[in-house]
Amino acid sequence: MADRSIPEETAVALVYDGSTEAVMMATPADLEDFAIGFSLTEGIIHDPADLRGLEILPVADGIEARMWLVPDRGREVSARRRARTGPTGCGLCGVESLAEAGRLRQTRPLSDLAPVQGAALLQAMAELDAAQRLGAQTRAVHAAGFWRPADGLVALREDVGRHNALDKLVGGMARAGEVDLSGAVLLTSRVSVEMVQKTASLGAPLLVAMSAPTALAVRTAEAAGITLVAVARRDGFEVFTHPHRVGI
């Protein structure tokens, strides 16, 4: 019998000023990126400077990402705080109402991006596939990457949860001071509405995914001004919204 690698899955609590905001099942790697990315895409902070401290601590039943907010943000978060729990692959964890589930959380304008040729997009997805170390070992995790036409793949994160992978990517880019967002978010997963929302919160103008989008994801990308490319495989892709960013 051959040995194989399987990914870890751990409960990670995101704790702000001593109170738990969410508990997510996640791969226990790049957790500083995850904490900052989740905080950004969920609108808890608007900039990493809104955090005055971050500590990753193993506890009895998992891991706590303990964060301390600057006073103004702390007061706003405490006003809306309630405990939230999300399983692996969860979507809109802990929204306050049905209306909030479809609301676009876009905090910054989209970056400019000249049309990208189709061959370049296929090459970008090939680069994403080749860079997935944990994915190659386990065949059981998702990846999210950021690609720029001039630079290729500049960042990649992996996780058992597709939302977590994207949050880790957002947090990793923020921590690295990446401000040039004139490129594409790349996903190995399907595109549901929250993946579009997180891409919009980053300010990326182009989202390319291996699998298909939901109808709500397409409507949300259209409203956000994001070019949504999906079903991106070796033999081609489909453009669902704002095709002016994709060259012939």
- Does a structural domain hold residue 3? no
- 120-136: per-residue pLDDT in tens? 999 999 999 999 999 99
Question: Is 171 in contact with 183 (CB distance < 8 Å)?
Answer: no
pLDDT confidence of residue 79: 77
Question: Whole-number mean pLDDT of the chain?
Answer: 90
93 included as an active-site residue: no
Is the pLDDT at 7 greater than 80? The verdict is: yes
Both 150 and 29 in a single domain?
A: no
Both 73 and 131 in a single domain?
A: no
Q: Residue 149 CA to chain centroid, in angstroms?
A: 20
Q: Of 36, 77, 90, 204, which is the active-site residue?
A: 90
End-of-domain residue from the set 101, 135, 161: 101
- 79-95: per-residue pLDDT in tens? 776 544 444 445 455 45
pLDDT confidence of residue 92: 53
Return the half-sphere exposure (C-beta side, CA atoms, 13 A cut-off) of residue 234.
2
- Does a structural domain hold residue 107? no
Both 55 and 160 in a single domain?
A: no
Q: Which residue has the higher pLDDT, 99 or 37?
A: 37
pLDDT confidence of residue 142: 97
- Does a structural domain hold residue 5? no
Both 73 and 167 in a single domain?
A: no
Look up the domain containing 180 and give its range.
116-247
Both 97 and 131 in a single domain?
A: no
pLDDT confidence of residue 170: 98
pLDDT confidence of residue 86: 47
End-of-domain residue from the set 46, 71, 101: 101
- 64-84: per-residue pLDDT in tens? 999 999 998 888 887 776 544
Both 123 and 190 in a single domain?
A: yes
pLDDT confidence of residue 2: 62
Confidence category of residue 188, pLDDT binned at 50, 70, 90: very high
Both 94 and 129 in a single domain?
A: no
Dig out the tokens for 210 from the structure: 């291996």
Confidence category of residue 98, pLDDT binned at 50, 70, 90: low
pLDDT confidence of residue 76: 85
- How many C-beta neighbours within 10 Å does residue 28 have? 18
Is the pLDDT at 100 greater than 70? The verdict is: no
Both 90 and 166 in a single domain?
A: no
pLDDT confidence of residue 75: 87
Both 225 and 157 in a single domain?
A: yes
- Does a structural domain hold residue 83? yes
Both 201 and 92 in a single domain?
A: no
- Does a structural domain hold residue 200? yes
Confidence category of residue 196, pLDDT binned at 50, 70, 90: very high
Confidence category of residue 56, pLDDT binned at 50, 70, 90: very high
- Does a structural domain hold residue 109? no
Both 43 and 76 in a single domain?
A: yes
Both 165 and 200 in a single domain?
A: yes
pLDDT confidence of residue 248: 72
- 28-38: per-residue pLDDT in tens? 999 999 999 99
pLDDT confidence of residue 101: 60
Q: Look up the CATH number of the domain holding residue 76.
A: 3.10.20.10
- Does a structural domain hold residue 2? no
Q: 197 Cβ partners below 8 Å, 6+ apart?
A: 41, 104, 105, 106, 220
Q: Look up the CATH number of the domain holding residue 127.
A: 3.40.140.10
End-of-domain residue from the set 75, 101, 127: 101
- Does a structural domain hold residue 106? no
Structural domain count, the chain: 2
